Amino acid sequence: MITCFDIGGSAIKCALATADGRIGGLTRVPTPAHDFGAFTAAMQALIEAGGPSRGVAVSIAGVLDPLDGRIKCANIPCIDGRTLAADLGAAFGLPVWIINDADSFALAEAQAGAARGHANVFGLILGTGVGGGLVIGGRLIGGPGGFAGEWGHGPVVSSPRFPCGCGQSGCLDTIGGARGLERLYRSLNGRSMDSREIIAAWQSGDADAERTIACWTDLLSGPLAMLVNTLGASMLPVGGGLANSAPLIARLDQAVRARILRKTGQPIVVPGQAGAEPGLIGAAWLGLDKLGGAHA
């Protein structure tokens, strides 16, 4: 058994994973975001409640530098800048492995979701913003600074060119997620609408919503097609709030497949299927792989 965590700014979710990657009962407690002692104590209590554990695998919303192990995490200030795996390992007396939440999603989909059986997988997050994770041959691919898979950043959108939180402008992150879709709608139509309302209006045949969705699809499909061509990814499962709209993802899939070199009649951009807790599932597969006990 290993203990798995999926940690966000508001909640710590915990479950046990067996040697075949199955997740047991879920426990949830509030995240002590400003007190590292309370943060580790909350995790320790959950570990002890679950019984004997061979290690701790953590999916978390943050970027982990693979060179020095330090994490950059904006929504949990007490862990920002820490060598989190080493610090938690010292506190628990167990090996600790950390995985970014987007990477965890990609790994969960490659091992137990829509991309199971595919060698090269790029997991897309279309949530509040844009993120991603890359799995090649069943293993996560990292990079300097831990930024591999962050396809949402880099000035590729010429118009409309919105400033991005990363310090650049024209990033896909500014138009690709739910807030980006709303920003795009406002820019094109001169008024505001919630992303769910935009999608509903589009499905009802509203012209303004159609123009927005057409622009959104065009801006995202080109960069995604280049990712497919470059990485040889045969499946791109999608997570995040926008993945809840199957028609929206189907439209993006059609646009991407029209632009890639490998022509196929089968969808490659699809809603994720790993289940309701991809963070815990991805963390479980990471931990089991580190222990040598998980092979799909």
Q: Which residue ranges of the chain lie beneath pLDDT 70? A: 143-147, 293-296
Alpha helices in the chain (DSSP H): 36-50, 84-92, 101-112, 173-176, 178-189, 195-203, 207-231, 246-257, 278-291
Q: Identify the bridge partners of residue 134 per DSSP, sorted by sequence position.
A: 122
The residue written with tokens 């709608």 in the block is 185
Q: What is the pTM of this model?
A: 0.83
**Domain 2-103+276-291: CATH superfamily, name plus number:** ATPase, nucleotide binding domain (3.30.420.40)
Q: How does DSSP assign 59-102, residue by residue?
A: EESSEE-TTT-BEE-TT-GGGTTSBHHHHHHHHHTS-EEEEEHH
Task: Please give the helix or strand (H or E) that residue 71 lies within, else none.
Answer: strand 71-72
20 phi and psi angles, rounded to 5 deg? -95, 10
Distance from chain centroid for Cα 38 = 26
- What are the boundaries of each domain within the chain? 2-103+276-291, 116-271
Residue 147 pLDDT: 60
Q: What is the largest CA-CA distance in the chain?
A: 59
pLDDT digits (tens, 9 = 90+) for 87-122: 999 999 999 999 888 889 998 899 889 999 999 999
Distance CA 41, CA 137 (A): 37
CATH architecture of 116-271: 2-Layer Sandwich (3.30)
Q: Distance (Å, rounded) from C-alpha 138 to C-alpha 116?
A: 9
Of the candidates 134, 135, 129, 136, which has an alpha carbon nearest to the alpha carbon of residue 153? 129
Distance CA 50, CA 2 (A): 9
Distance CA 205, CA 282 (A): 38
Identical fold between 2-103+276-291 and 116-271 = yes
Give me the pLDDT at residue 295, please.
42
Q: Please tell me the predicted confidence (pLDDT) of residue 198.
A: 98
Nearest CA among 79, 213, 61 for reference residue 129: 61
